[in-house]
A and B are shown apart, each in its own frame.
Chain A
């Protein structure tokens, strides 16, 4: 009986995400997907296409990922190379990784928007997203590096390399595939984020013109359709399909590699 119950549960959980995708696709009322994806919004965002939101999503997320990686990789290296393995540093990174996106949104809006005077803008959104992503990436990088450290640091020493050379010439290149997967996961996470960007980058219908102007991403636009624009359910469904397709596309190599590792 218990085995039957477990098997039923397994079947349900396996089918549920695909059923959800089917519900989402069936709920859309888009006649022409090409026009929808490459068109411009009309009637205050209640009709028309979503091209500006797709461009804005990548225009905000890609610089944020680049910045986050730029500061996360040296942090992970610094943590690995310091002999005492600073508890304070790891605690701050873990704290940063566990802070909810919404709180990052509030803190980013206060610090970058108000204190640094950037206001509600793409720049504030990018910097906040950087702060949100960097600790998550750094935490993953530290784990990836520590696996390789055990194997390759003695090799570097045997070859007469300094510790810095061992890290940059051997361990970092070896850990690169695992780090690339972490970056992919971060990219998907950033594209999915609505709470932090809603509070920092704001919401407009246009394409991003400058860094000091607000810009709406796909996820923020869905939230706007549901919370602020009345009767935006059907349109939110259609935007959700595009966002979900993008996220699944980005995560596919990550999923396949994890499954491959598990076998």
Chain B
């Protein structure tokens, strides 16, 4: 009598269950595309890229949202990238063992802050000085994305060769020379990739920006102390109350946001392709005898 193929059955059941996730992602996101197209056809109002976003006047152009998003996300990301890279360098090059542990624990705790909590903290500390404004939104975005970026950069630095960095310092290289000649050549593509991923996260950040941004654009382009309304805040505030053309515009804005984030993720992933290169000095002068002997044998 042949035995019932229980293991085969389990295997196929596992395979079928494994296909659910990619299918679910595809179906749910495809439904967003289909519903956006259907709503646009129903409402017969194609949102313009060159018109203002003024729901009270039934105008749903993306100009305000794009400019606000760019004005908030680009400086916010740049601030986080500059400060984050410097902090990662400080931990990697300057901090002692205990200092590095304490700094990393702080960064991990910070990275775990929910975005509503970051929003309320920026609201309490910055809005009394800067008001509900573009400046506050930039700070909120920077605070939100900085710890994750810093930890990722630190991880990239740790994958390069610490011993070579220490040897470079012992040989009298200044910090700038160390960064320029040792760290930067091997890691810049990865750092650029991480910056792109961080930009995607900054663009998609909704709750903390919605809490501090004011939610309306009075002047275009917005000044540093003017209120703004980004793509994500317009969706967050508009979705629960939207109907007709507003609904179609909110769905279209969601698709645009998805496209922006996906594009930055693709560019980020492309830049991070390939392994982290060992520092230039390591390859030229301080080659690894164990691997060298293996190579010679091969």
Query: Which A positions have Cβ atoms within 8 angstroms of B?
Result: 2-3, 5-7, 9-10, 13-18, 20, 23-24, 27, 70-72, 74-79, 81, 88-89, 92-96, 98-111, 114-115, 131, 134-135, 138, 162, 164-165, 168, 188, 191-195, 198-199, 219, 222-223, 226-227, 233, 236-237, 240, 243-244, 247-248, 251, 254-255, 258-259, 262-263
B32 touches A103 (CB 8 A): yes
Would you give the shortest CB distance from B166 to chain A, in whole angstroms?
Answer: 15
Checking A9, A18, A75, A110 against B87 with a beta-carbon cut-off of 8 angstroms, the contacting residue is: A9
Checking B18, B106, B109, B240 against A77 with a beta-carbon cut-off of 8 angstroms, the contacting residue is: B18
Kindly list chain B residues whose C-beta atoms are within 8 Å of the C-beta of A195.
Answer: 115, 206-207, 232, 236
Checking A6, A105, A222 against B90 with a beta-carbon cut-off of 8 angstroms, the contacting residue is: A6
Chain B: which residue is nearest A78 at the CB level?
A: B18
Instruction: Verify if B93 is at the interface (C-beta below 8 Å from A).
Output: yes
User: Which secondary structure characterizes the binding site on chain A?
Assistant: helix
Q: List 9 A-B contacts (CB under 8 A).
A: A7-B90, A10-B87, A13-B83, A98-B262, A102-B204, A103-B257, A110-B32, A191-B114, A243-B114
Instruction: Verify if B117 is at the interface (C-beta below 8 Å from A).
Output: yes
**B: number of interface residues (CB 8 Å):** 83
Instruction: Verify if B102 is at the interface (C-beta below 8 Å from A).
Output: yes
Instruction: Verify if B223 is at the interface (C-beta below 8 Å from A).
Output: no
Stretch with Cβ within 8 A of A (4 or more), from B120-128, B133-141, B275-283: B120-128
Would you give the shortest CB distance from A76 to chain B, in whole angstroms?
Answer: 8
A192 touches B7 (CB 8 A): no
State the CA gap A115–B117 with chains docked (Å). Answer: 33
A95 touches B86 (CB 8 A): no
B115 touches A194 (CB 8 A): yes
Kindly list chain B residues whose C-beta atoms are within 8 Å of the C-beta of A103.
Answer: 32, 204, 235, 254, 257-258, 261
**9 further A-B pairs in the complex, CB-CB below 8 A; given A23-B121, A96-B21, A247-B112:** A7-B90, A13-B106, A20-B110, A93-B25, A100-B201, A106-B251, A193-B114, A194-B115, A227-B237
A255 touches B109 (CB 8 A): yes
Would you give the shortest CB distance from B36 to chain A, in whole angstroms?
Answer: 9
Instruction: Verify if B41 is at the interface (C-beta below 8 Å from A).
Output: no
Instruction: Verify if B91 is at the interface (C-beta below 8 Å from A).
Output: yes
Checking B93, B94, B113 against A244 with a beta-carbon cut-off of 8 angstroms, the contacting residue is: B113
State the CA gap A81–B201 with chains docked (Å). Answer: 31
Would you give the shortest CB distance from A203 to chain B, in whole angstroms?
Answer: 9
Kindly list chain B residues whose C-beta atoms are within 8 Å of the C-beta of A262.
Answer: 104, 158
Query: Which B positions have Cβ atoms within 8 angstroms of A?
Result: 7, 10-11, 14-15, 17-22, 24-29, 31-32, 35, 83, 86-87, 89-91, 93-95, 97, 99, 101-110, 112-117, 119-121, 123-125, 147, 150, 158, 175-176, 197, 200-201, 203-207, 210-211, 232, 235-237, 239-240, 250-251, 254, 257-258, 261-262, 265, 269
Most central of A77, A223, A258 by chain B CB within 10 Å: A223
A135 touches B25 (CB 8 A): yes
B24 touches A244 (CB 8 A): no
B210 touches A227 (CB 8 A): yes
User: Which secondary structure characterizes the binding site on chain B?
Assistant: helix
Checking A92, A192, A255 against B105 with a beta-carbon cut-off of 8 angstroms, the contacting residue is: A255
Checking B20, B24, B110, B240 against A199 with a beta-carbon cut-off of 8 angstroms, the contacting residue is: B240
Would you give the shortest CB distance from B190 to chain A, in whole angstroms?
Answer: 16
**If the complex has contacts A93-B22, A219-B114, are A9 and B120 also in contact, measured as CB distance less than 8 A?**
no
A99 touches B116 (CB 8 A): no
State the CA gap A140–B237 with chains docked (Å). Answer: 32
* 6 closest cross-chain pairs (CB), A and B: A100-B204, A78-B18, A192-B114, A74-B18, A96-B25, A74-B17
A198 touches B236 (CB 8 A): yes
